[in-house]
């Protein structure tokens, strides 16, 4: 198979796993290498992923909980396809996660421990490559040299996760979340450099704890950078980093002191295991933390890809 088509399959894997790895944690902390890599139209894929996060990972920064220690295990299924949209290459991916969280903490002088399990809010992502992203058939794509790519995307996380308004700790967010982003990718021989800039916005949660409180959250601005090295098609390593700021909340008109201004670093390894199959392993940790980001994550996933 032509190396260009093999790289396209790897690109869809990265987008899928970036969504799965963050689906049960805070949205702004995504790390998605090769999210805007080139692909032909007609690529289809399905995948499964599992991850484990430990630390201050699921507790909302606005909650009155101190000394948080949490372990979150998550599994997810996803599917996606590439297609032509007004002459440009577009990618549509949907991910459906399930999570189990074990959380310990202290409210005032009282310590406690809870376990929560259920479906997290799913995610649907639509991206379109603009510069360098002309919609091509597999045959055309195989003959086209790689070039600089600039793309845009939107992610929607609907209010479908498990939520109980009488509980402090929940799996679902009881609101809709939206992310708009622009990204660019440059290839230098075996090296790939990528930068993304985006922002998350949120609707109001009008059933916040204890059930009648109204919670709003300001937007979160997020930046990502990735430096990857390709040893051979579908076998590569990447160094990942993200910085994000914002997200201060208000509950019943009272502003909380929970502004987030954090950074995370991590790494990603992609390994081909057959012509249509690949696996990826990723790890990340908080580099600098101000609120709600001091945790570590390890995730692995499998994907099967085929051409329409």
Please compute the mean of the pLDDT values over residues 197-226 and round it to a whole number: 93
> Range of 120's domain?
3-307
pLDDT digits (tens, 9 = 90+) for 89-131: 999 999 998 999 898 888 767 788 999 999 999 999 999 999 9
pLDDT of residue 23: 46
CATH label of the domain that carries residue 220: 2.40.128.130
**pTM, entire model:** 0.89
Q: Which residue has the higher pLDDT, 257 or 63?
A: 257
Per-residue pLDDT at 232: 87
Residue 99, helix vs strand vs coil: strand
pLDDT at 6: 47
Confidence (pLDDT) at 86: 94
pLDDT score recorded for residue 202: 94
| pLDDT greater than 90 at residue 180 | yes
Query: What per-residue confidence (pLDDT) applies to 105?
Result: 82
Q: Does the pLDDT at position 279 exceed 70?
A: yes
Span 44-50, average pLDDT: 91
- Give me the pLDDT at residue 15, please: 55
Count of structural domains within the chain: 1
* Whole-number percent of the chain with pLDDT over 90: 48
């Amino acid at each position: 198979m032509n190396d260009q088509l093999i790289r396209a399959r790897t690109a869809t894997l990265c987008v899928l796993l970036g969504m799965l790895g963050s689906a049960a944690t805070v949205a702004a902390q995504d790390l998605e290498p090769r999210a805007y890599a080139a692909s032909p139209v007609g690529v289809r894929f399905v995948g499964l992923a599992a991850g484990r996060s430990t630390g201050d990972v699921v507790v909302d920064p606005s909650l009155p909980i101190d000394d948080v220690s949490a372990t979150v295990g998550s599994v997810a299924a996803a599917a996606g396809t590439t297609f032509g949209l007004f002459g440009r290459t577009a990618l549509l991916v949907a991910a459906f996660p399930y999570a189990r969280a074990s959380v310990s903490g202290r409210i005032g002088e009282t310590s406690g421990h809870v376990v929560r399990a259920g479906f997290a809010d799913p995610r649907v992502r639509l991206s379109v490559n603009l510069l360098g992203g002309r919609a091509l058939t597999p045959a055309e794509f195989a003959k086209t040299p790689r070039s600089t790519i600039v793309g845009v995307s939107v992610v929607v996380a609907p209010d479908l996760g498990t939520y109980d308004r009488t509980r402090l700790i929940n799996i679902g967010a009881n609101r809709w979340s939206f992310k708009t982003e622009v990204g660019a990718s440059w290839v230098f021989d075996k090296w790939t450099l990528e930068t993304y800039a985006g922002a998350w916005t949120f609707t109001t949660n009008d059933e916040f704890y204890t059930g009648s409180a109204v919670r709003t959250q300001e937007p979160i601005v997020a930046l990502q950078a990735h430096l990857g090295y390709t040893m051979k098609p579908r076998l590569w390593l990447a160094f990942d980093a993200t910085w994000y700021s914002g997200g201060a909340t208000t509950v019943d008109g009272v502003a909380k002191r929970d502004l987030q201004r954090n950074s995370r670093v991590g790494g990603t390894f992609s390994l081909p295991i057959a012509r249509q199959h690949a696996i990826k392993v990723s790890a990340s940790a908080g580099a600098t933390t101000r609120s709600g980001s001091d945790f570590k994550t390890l995730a692995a996933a499998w994907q099967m890809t085929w051409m329409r």
